[in-house]
Amino acid sequence: MTRVSVRKTYKLYIGGAFPRSESGRTFEAESQNVARASRKDARDAVRAARAAFPVWAGMTAYNRGQILYRLAEMMEARSSDLERACSGRGEVEAAIDRVVWYAGWADKLAQVLGSSNPVAGPYFDFTVPEPMGVVAVLAPGEPPLGGLISRVAPAIVGGNAAVVVASETHPVAAIEFAEALATSDLPAGTVNILTGFRDELAPWLAGHMDVNAIDLTGADGGSTELEQLAAENVKRVVRSSADAQSPWEISAFLELKTVWHPIGL
Amino acid sequence: MAQVEKRESSAPAPAPLEWEYAPAPEARDVVQLEERYGLFVGGEIVQPQTGEWFASISPSTEETLFEVALAGEADVDGAVGAARDAYENGWSGLAPSERAKYLFRIARILQERSRELAVAESLDGGKPIRESRDVDIPLAAAHFFYYAGWADKLEYAFPNRTPEPLGVAAQIIPWNFPLLMLAWKIAPALACGNTVVLKPAETTPLTAMIFADVCRQAELPPGVVNLVTGDGTTGAHLVRHDGIDKLAFTGSTEVGKLIMRELAGRDVRLTLELGGKAANIVFDDAALDQAVEGIVNGIYFNQGHVCCAGSRLLVQESIYEPLLEKLKRRLSTLRVGDPLDKNTDVGAINSKAQLEKIRELVASGEDEGAEIFQPECELPERGYWFVPTLFTNVAQSYRIAQEEIFGPVLSVLTFRTPEEAIEKANNTPYGLSAGVWTEKGSRILWMVERLRAGVVWANTFNRFDPTSPFGGYRESGFGREGGRHGLEPYLRLE
Amino acid sequence: MPDYTRRVAKAPALVGGFVLPSGPRLPRVGSVDAVALEERAATLAKRSIKRESKVQALRLAVRMMDLTTLEGQDTPGKVAALCSKAIRPDPVDRSVPSVAAVCVYPSLAGVAKERLAGSGVRVASVATAFPSGQSPVEIKIAETRAVVELGADEVDMVIDRGAFLSGRYAKVYDEIVRVKEVCGDAHLKVILETGELGTYDNVRRASLIAIAAGADFIKTSTGKINPAATLPVTLCMMEVVRDVYAETGRMVGIKPAGGIRVSKQAVQYLVVLYETLGREWMTPDLFRFGASSLLNDVLMQLRKEKTGLYQSGDYFTID
């Protein structure tokens, strides 16, 4: 007798939970029914991210690094699921290695990206990188897992919380990845993943007044309207490539704070 | 109450003491004003193709100082073309070490001509000579000196990258620190190998035009620096020009958003340094007399025409009364008047339009129920003046506590606990700067961690240095000017 | 009898001698930021004043001067000469006023009293084991009593810096109180010796202790230690005096001493005084300069303002 398998339902990942879209809609992608997030789901995701931000950013850098490493461990454990959702073993291994690479950056950022500034006067002056807050990420269409990781990892390692719009054509990898996130000790809401139609979701995120930055790497070409919306609250607009890996990918999601104090008796 | 009684003296009783500070005006003749200033394009002073000129008014006397060209679309096009030409045919190919030497030359010439530039700045913009002499001009020279040294060391600033210039940088600067903002913009742009088209502010073009002469004296290759004077339309032409690779803007948040929309979808790198509504937070253990100096410097420096001005004073309730008493007393000693007088603390408001805006907001503060304090103060008959003003009984919701006034107007609010101070300080869309006054080191760092601001001054305020990155969070803009971080906006990191 | 054990909390009575004055409260001790203080002083030092105001300022500086000689080699002859100079600083220009006081060692207070009799110039004597203050308190009290008996109008005492720096503030306070008791009608100037206190915070604290204990003036220095008076340290003390005035209405005098040698410095001190404490303090009753060589420089400046010619020291008597 053949056993009937228990199939997975592909849902959203918001605030550490896996809800269906509040709209009740789904769409078919990669032969699966995938939740089709609405603008209200996007709003809820931003709310979850805003709540998670102080928790995640308030952890020590050492702790954030450990949690991201734990994420890599969880991905490794799910590598066969992830492989099925992307181009295969090579992409998964590269993605896991990239998470490990960024995990190691958490407690080095301030040293590489910050500075102490020798001002001409009796003051101690230093500059430290700080997270921006809530970052919206339009994940690249491809590669399904690699593109997502390349954008999400640098966005969160410095302490930001993210709302990610998954690849429209390859959303399954993002949901599999969400399951790794959910088991990784990452505070709920630090990364939220929306599947659905990018054109429906992106403008709501670009115009959202409580989103501090938007990564348009996945907005192939036509992003003029999104950039105009981003101007509403002077969002930082980030653009890169689906396979970039460097500390400057992280710094694009960081603010710099300069502090002065007199030196005297 | 004196413990010492009057002594009898053989000398006649002394006359009552006259204590007057001398009018100590800086000599104006160090600046040779021309009747008209043309545009600086391709190394030459040229007439505007618009054929239009506008008057530059001295805000302290309302006299017309000179006329300046109004650059139109064709003029802007010519300037961008000259910058492109200079970039491709020479400047980008020049050895970085040679580029550095031009910047060093400029720094030196600025130092040599500092007296002239300081007087010009105060004449044209209304700021006290004490500030243009001790702050604006020396810092402008220091900026060129600092970035000169970076020109041939860029690869050390960004390890494992090959830094490349962007091309033609368009730069638009405000009227509050005319030459200093020019230096903040031009020095890093040139150090990174770009060429520049800069638009000085409508009301303060004079030091930029003297800077054109500085470029000539430095024998800077033609077209590396181009200056287009004009109004908002000139700026708009520059923003819309498809030949620019980079836009750097310092000004209001409102215009910053317009520029951001205008550049949407274009491959133009953008940095914005916009408005602010900084909280200056005083705890009850602060060194009060020095905090008072810092508060005064925070809001009355440069007539409050400072984007990072400490315009919201947050005072811990337990120290509110003595602090306010000290502050009011100190306010009464501020000397408002002739910007060219070395004893002047507060100069003229930069323009009539700005004066009206300040008056309007101050009136709104009174209407909304805040209590106004203005020291007795004799103001000159002509010119644009505003008495240093302090508002108490201000609620967080009042316009004067929310909107950037950009004038010598301080709103005083109170708080009870550090948490409340943070909550109030961060309750604004801006995030440029903040001040914290307390003797407790751990509390300073706790506050620093939580204040959403690009610059936090602890036990000091309004300090600037070329080595120190400056710029905002949130609606105060993005990108940093100063320091190693100030190079990044002018480079492509391959 | 309630069921108390012997270990129930019980506070001891306040330490004897260290009783805070009742009535209007004294300002909190607070603290001082050195960088901002020094910057404020430097900014004020750049003020330029009107020529007429400057002449007035210089004449005022003469009237505020405690003409001082505090040397091991001081003799009655030296003090006598200094007293003549004090009464008539510029024999050529009779419009130049007398100085405020002549400041000498205890053994010469009698000579000074005799020479200054009827002139209106006061006799100030140092006391309390000047300059170190390292003697038993009984000796300090006896010395003070002696100089008052010799005719000193003003007593310049030193605080016990050893006690202050080891945290025995009550001892510092107590000594001032006891010296004050024997001063009688003589005015008490308390020398903090700021050059030995290390920080402006300490200067502020010592100023408050001295004022609380009854100092009529607080004075920066003995002149035996470098640095002596500086503009910022004097500003720091003025701020304390301003706070005391705001809280209690009591007007305390200030005396920078040592290191003020030229007219320009004297004018700078007066600018800082004017900006910090205002016109009310611009009187010898509330402000003094402790100096020796300053007087001739001021006289030369006054002569220069009168004649329009730069002056030479050869035309002014050394004492």
Interacting residues of A9 by C-beta distance below 8 A, sequence separation 6+: A20, A33
Give the amino acid at C74. Answer: D
How does residue B16 score in pLDDT terms, banded at 50, 70 and 90?
low
Residue A109 lies in a domain: yes
Q: Sign of the C-alpha dihedral, residues A204, A206, A211, A216?
A: positive
Q: Which of B89, B92, B33 is nearest to B58 (CA)?
A: B33
Q: What angle do CA B131, B136, B139 make, to 5 degrees?
A: 130
Interchain proximity B453–A225, CB inside 8 Å: no
- Residue A195, domain extent: 26-262
* pLDDT at site B6: 38
Residue A20 lies in a domain: no
CB contact A125 to C (< 8 Å): no
Give the amino acid at B336. Answer: V
Interchain proximity B471–A259, CB inside 8 Å: no
Mutate to test the interface with B, among A258, A263, A265 (most CBs of B within 10 A): A258
CB contact A107 to B (< 8 Å): no
**CA of B236, closest CA in chain A: separation in Å?**
17
Strand order in the sheet with C154-158: C253-255, C217-219, C187-191, C154-158, C122-127, C101-104, C65-68, C289-291
As for how many domains chain A has, the answer is 1
Give the amino acid at A142. Answer: E
Say how far apart CA C148 and CA C219 lie, in whole Å: 19
* pLDDT at site B12: 45
Identify which has the larger pLDDT, A201 or A222: A201
Bridge partners (DSSP) listed for residue C217: C189, C253
* pLDDT at site C261: 95
* CB-side neighbour CA atoms (13 Å) of B237: 21
Residue A13 lies in a domain: no
Question: Is the separation of the CB atoms in A10 and A172 below 8 Å?
Answer: yes
Interacting residues of B89 by C-beta distance below 8 A, sequence separation 6+: none
pLDDT for residue A217 is more than 50: yes
Residue B273 catalytic? yes
Name the residue facing B475 among A234, A255, A260 (closest C-beta): A234
CA distances from A69 to A64, A73, A152, A179, B479 (A): 9, 6, 14, 15, 31
Residue C33 catalytic? no
Mutate to test the interface with A, among B478, B480, B484, B494 (most CBs of A within 10 A): B478
Residue B307 catalytic? yes
Bridge partners (DSSP) listed for residue A127: A115, A258
Cis peptide before C131 (omega within 30 of 0): yes
CB contact A210 to B (< 8 Å): no
pLDDT for residue B93 is more than 50: yes
The CATH number of residue A187's host domain is 3.40.605.10
Token pair 């104090």 is found at A261
* Tens-place pLDDT, residues B363-395: 999 999 999 999 998 899 999 999 999 999 999
| Tens-binned pLDDT, residue by residue, of chain C (319 aa) | 556 676 777 666 554 544 545 444 556 788 999 999 999 999 999 988 888 889 999 999 999 999 999 999 999 999 999 999 999 999 999 999 999 999 999 999 999 999 999 999 999 999 999 999 999 999 999 999 999 999 999 999 999 999 999 999 999 999 999 999 999 999 999 999 999 999 999 999 999 999 999 999 999 999 999 999 999 999 999 999 999 998 888 999 999 999 999 999 999 999 999 999 999 999 999 999 999 999 999 999 999 999 999 999 899 988 7
* Tens-place pLDDT, residues A135-192: 999 999 999 999 999 999 999 999 999 999 999 999 999 999 999 999 999 999 999 9
pTM above the 0.95 mark? Answer: no
CB contact C132 to B (< 8 Å): no
* pLDDT at site A14: 98
* pLDDT at site C53: 86
Residue A45 lies in a domain: yes
pLDDT for residue B215 is more than 50: yes
* pLDDT at site C282: 94
Interchain proximity A262–C200, CB inside 8 Å: no
pLDDT for residue A90 is more than 80: yes
Residue A65 tokens, joined: 């690094």
Bridge partners (DSSP) listed for residue A124: A261
Say how far apart CA B402 and CA B411 lie, in whole Å: 10
Average pLDDT, chain C: 92
The average pLDDT across B336-347 equals: 94
Name the residue facing A258 among B444, B455, B460 (closest C-beta): B455
Average pLDDT, chain A: 96
* pLDDT at site B74: 98
Residue A191 lies in a domain: yes
Residue A255 lies in a domain: yes
| Domains within chain C, CATH numbers bracketed | 34-315 (3.20.20.70)
DSSP B325-386: HHHHHHHTT--BS-TTBTT-SB---S-HHHHHHHHHHHHHHHHHTPEEE-------SSS---
Interchain proximity A223–B265, CB inside 8 Å: yes
Contacts of C39 in chain B (CB under 8 A): 293
Q: Which of B71, B175, B191 is nearest to B124 (CA)?
A: B175
Interchain proximity A231–B457, CB inside 8 Å: no
Q: Which of B195, B178, B148, B239 is nearest to B42 (CA)?
A: B195
For chain B, list residues whose CB is within 8 angstroms of any CB belonging to chain A: 142, 158, 160-161, 253, 256-258, 260-261, 263-265, 272, 274, 429, 444, 448, 453-460, 463, 465, 467-471, 473-478, 480, 483-485, 493
Give the number of beta-carbon pairs within 8 Å between A and B: 111
Contacts of A264 in chain C (CB under 8 A): 33-35, 38
Bridge partners (DSSP) listed for residue C66: C101, C290
**B449 three-class SS:** helix
Average pLDDT, chain B: 94
The average pLDDT across B233-252 equals: 98
* pLDDT at site B5: 37
CB contact C31 to B (< 8 Å): yes
The chains in contact with chain C, meaning 3 or more Cβ pairs closer than 8 Å, are A, B
Nearest CA in chain A to C201: A265
Dihedral pair phi/psi, residue B56, rounded to 5°: -105, 125
Say how far apart CA B366 and CA B358 lie, in whole Å: 13
Share of residues in chain A with pLDDT > 90 (%): 95
Mutate to test the interface with C, among B289, B300, B438 (most CBs of C within 10 A): B289
Q: Sign of the C-alpha dihedral, residues A76, A81, A86, A88?
A: positive
| Domains within chain B, CATH numbers bracketed | 29-274+474-493 (3.40.605.10), 279-458 (3.40.309.10)
Catalytic residue among C153, C156, C160, C243: C156
Residue A79 lies in a domain: yes
Q: What angle do CA B218, B222, B224 make, to 5 degrees?
A: 85
